[in-house]
A = this chain, B = another copy of it.
Amino acid sequence: MRLKNHLRKGFTGGIVFLLLFFLVGAIPASADEGMWTFDNPPIKQLQKRYGFVSTKEWLDHVRLSSVRFMDGGSGSFVSPNGLVMTNHHVAVGQLQKMSNATRNYVATGFYAATQKDELKCPDLEVNVLVSMEDVTKRVLAAVKKGMSDEEALKARRAMIAKIERESLKKTGLRSNVISLYHGGEYWLYRYKKYTDVRLVMAPERQAAYFGGDSDNFTYPRYDLDMAFFRIYENGKPIHSKNYFKWNAHGASEGELVFVSGNPGSSDRLYTYAQLEYQRDYRYPLILNYIKRWIKILRNYAKQGPEQERRALVQIFGLENAKKAMTGEYQGLLDKKLMETRKKQEDDFRKLVASNPEWQKKYGDAWDTISQVIEKEKKVAKERFYRRIIASRLAGIASTIVFYVEEIKKPDSERLEGYHDSQLNSLKFRLFSPAPIYRDMEEANLAGGLQMSLEALGPDDQFIKIVLDGRTPEEAAKELIEGTKLTDVKFRKSLVKGGTKAVKKCKDPLILLARKLEPMMRKDREWSKKYIESVLTPATEKIAKARFAVYGKDVYPDATFTLRLAYGTVKGYPMNGTKAPYKTTLYGLFDRALSFDAKGEYSLPKRFWERKNKLDLSTPVNFVSTCDIIGGNSGSPVINKKAEVVGLIFDGNIESLPGRFLYDEEKNRAVAVHTAYITEALRKLYDANALADELEGK
């Protein structure tokens, strides 16, 4: 599932940082490669390869019809009445939050036959990118001659915070200055933000996620991985002027298609030394951690059906991350991929070296990065495990403790995540009424503490503070049983009460978060000292060298902002034979019955009861060469007329090393075919009203 990988993030005292923070530069794209920004679309490539002319109107329409789900996915408007389409697996977090022991929308699905039946989501934020402004000059002008690296960093940060704050004040829009090409450019992205999002329809998870973890990230595939929401403002559905018209014929083999969505992150421009670090340190560390966490949750889930229900979505997220990262890791272990990347780097460095001016300006960047990495290797494990992992309540406590301190500082001096322009979203998440299950929290926290204990040993200062002589189980029990942070009102009172209230508070998780605060801030200092002040300027140098050598005929690495990918509907060579460009409903029933319709390959009852009503030749899923990655889940696949022909939900197993290198021969984006969506809505779910709305009837 092409979900944005949340596991790439870790919560350190409520501060979000990327686990894989060495994002670098941009690359010259070949073939159908590229996740292009809308300010620099691949106009030349489309004209040359496909004879297609993308006009400004076309691009604006596509951009304004696309949405971002802050839960970690993408989506699109598919009717003028605020109807938004995305994946079931993007929606499943909200479905879980709206479910309980007796009403399980994850298992049963949901359909609101009329608007009044639509269900409001507890904490879903949806964004539309309404404008993009190049603010590179303003940001760079903040840096004055003679400033040290650290001063330059501070000046730039202050300017970015200022631009965001001013924009928010002026427009009321979510305003983010994003760094593209890693410092090569800065852009102010303004989003229209929606928080009244209501569930319209979701099928049973077993139809959406047919084949389960086994089939995840593979193809041929047979999944109805869809969900529909409607966006409201002031209690009424919005009028979405820009939306994609429905085309139930889908795309033919060989047809040009596009994907407009929000790829989360890619690492195509790591230096070779960075790749080796990922291969030898980072991936083994994270994969081990994920596997352990899955075990913790599976043990918890064994206690009963309600526990199983509670843990399901989190287990899914972890299994999904595990499979994705395992595939990526295979890429890093692949000698051919590594050799190709080595050669790319060697060629690039030779070109830089061939020009004395470039060599002087940029030539030392690679060695600088390697030096930081040597330092990073020594502290990687320690930095990773000196965090309270796997507990949502501990994360909330930490956020509150940091919030009350940060908020007192001038905006420009605050930690990332606590700027004025970010506070609305922070509070939306922090005050979410979504249920948190104490017993699951306790299991997660105990397991997480056990992992940290094993990794760091009993004498580590973090362990001493957290356990304080207790076993992980005892500590988790006391902390979770004693906390009142499940109560949203309590959280709000602490935030409102500020430092004073927090200092007075005897809640055990708040007390712990306060004790850990100095250590967490030290960790941020480490990062500032080595990463932000040394490594980041070096990667920026490489980005600039790249512009100098290759020009701007390139795309930046993914940043969970809107991108346009293009490609051809096309099968590929697979395991000795060919994978077809599409699958059909015949194949769904074959795959189910070939496993005797058991377990991951069972189907909801309605599929068997209504089988004879279905046209079994209906296309189910299809593949294209479009270049996508986690975060693109829920993106529309559109044709030249900007009609929607499919719904991205996954990449094939061969695409996973695509995080590091795109391979047009085998890299495929997997989508639900529009024909399956309407066939299923009408014949399986009696959702004719929704199907009519999609088809503009």
Binding site for B on A (CB under 8 A): 211, 214-215, 217-218, 220, 253, 323, 327, 571, 574-578, 580-591, 593-596, 601, 616-617, 652-653
Contacts and interface: CB of A to CB of B under 8 A. Distances in A.
Contacts of A214: 577-578
A575 B582 CA distance: 18
A206 to B, nearest CB: 17
Contacts of A583: 590, 594
A492 to B, nearest CB: 45
Given A580-B594, A582-B594, A585-B590, 4 more contacts: A574-B575, A580-B591, A584-B594, A587-B591
Which of A327, A574, A578 has the most chain B CB atoms closer than 10 A to its own CB? A578
Contacts of A571: 595
A220 B586 contact: no
Contacts of A601: 580
16 contacts: A214-B577, A215-B577, A217-B576, A323-B576, A327-B576, A571-B595, A578-B595, A580-B594, A582-B594, A583-B594, A584-B590, A584-B594, A586-B590, A586-B616, A587-B590, A589-B617
A217 B576 CA distance: 8
Contacts of A218: 575-577
Which of A220, A593, A595, A601 has the most chain B CB atoms closer than 10 A to its own CB? A593
A594 B587 contact: yes
A406 B15 CA distance: 90
B580 A595 contact: yes
A596 B220 contact: no
A253 B596 CA distance: 9
A317 to B, nearest CB: 18
Interface residues of A: mostly helix, strand, loop or mixed?
Answer: mixed
Contacts of A591: 580, 587
A214 B575 CA distance: 10
A644 B151 CA distance: 81
A576 to B, nearest CB: 3
B211 A577 contact: yes
Given A586-B586, A589-B586, A589-B616, A653 B594 contact: no
Contacts of A587: 586-587, 590-591, 594
Nearest to A656: B576
Contacts of A581: 594-595
Contacts of A616: 586, 589
Contacts of A594: 220, 580-584, 587
A607 to B, nearest CB: 12
Which of A211, A574, A590, A595 has the most chain B CB atoms closer than 10 A to its own CB? A590
Contacts of A574: 575
A379 to B, nearest CB: 34
Contact of A617 (B575, B585, B593): B593
A255 to B, nearest CB: 13
A617 B571 CA distance: 26
Contacts of A589: 584, 586, 616-617
Contacts of A577: 211, 214-215, 218, 653
Contacts of A327: 576
Contacts of A253: 596
Pairs of residues from A and B, 9 with the lowest C-beta to C-beta distance, nearest first: A587-B590, A576-B653, A580-B594, A586-B590, A218-B577, A586-B589, A218-B576, A575-B575, A586-B586
Contacts of A584: 589-590, 593-594
A6 B593 CA distance: 38
A280 to B, nearest CB: 20
Contacts of A593: 584, 586, 617
A275 to B, nearest CB: 21
A673 to B, nearest CB: 11
Nearest to A593: B584
Contacts of A582: 594
Nearest to A222: B590
A653 B590 contact: no
A589 B586 CA distance: 6
A641 B215 CA distance: 36
A252 to B, nearest CB: 9
A253 to B, nearest CB: 7
Nearest to A595: B580
Nearest to A598: B253
Nearest to A580: B594
Contacts of A588: 590
Which of A214, A586, A596 has the most chain B CB atoms closer than 10 A to its own CB? A586
Nearest to A571: B595
A283 B481 CA distance: 68
A191 B49 CA distance: 65
Nearest to A211: B577
Contacts of A595: 571, 578, 580-581
Contacts of A211: 577
A215 B587 CA distance: 16
Contacts of A596: 253
A581 B571 CA distance: 25
Contacts of A217: 576
A594 B589 CA distance: 14
A218 B220 CA distance: 14
Contacts of A585: 590
Contacts of A575: 218, 574-575, 653
Contacts of A617: 589, 593
Which of A218, A327, A575, A596 has the most chain B CB atoms closer than 10 A to its own CB? A575
A575 B576 CA distance: 10
Nearest to A252: B596
Nearest to A575: B575
A482 to B, nearest CB: 44
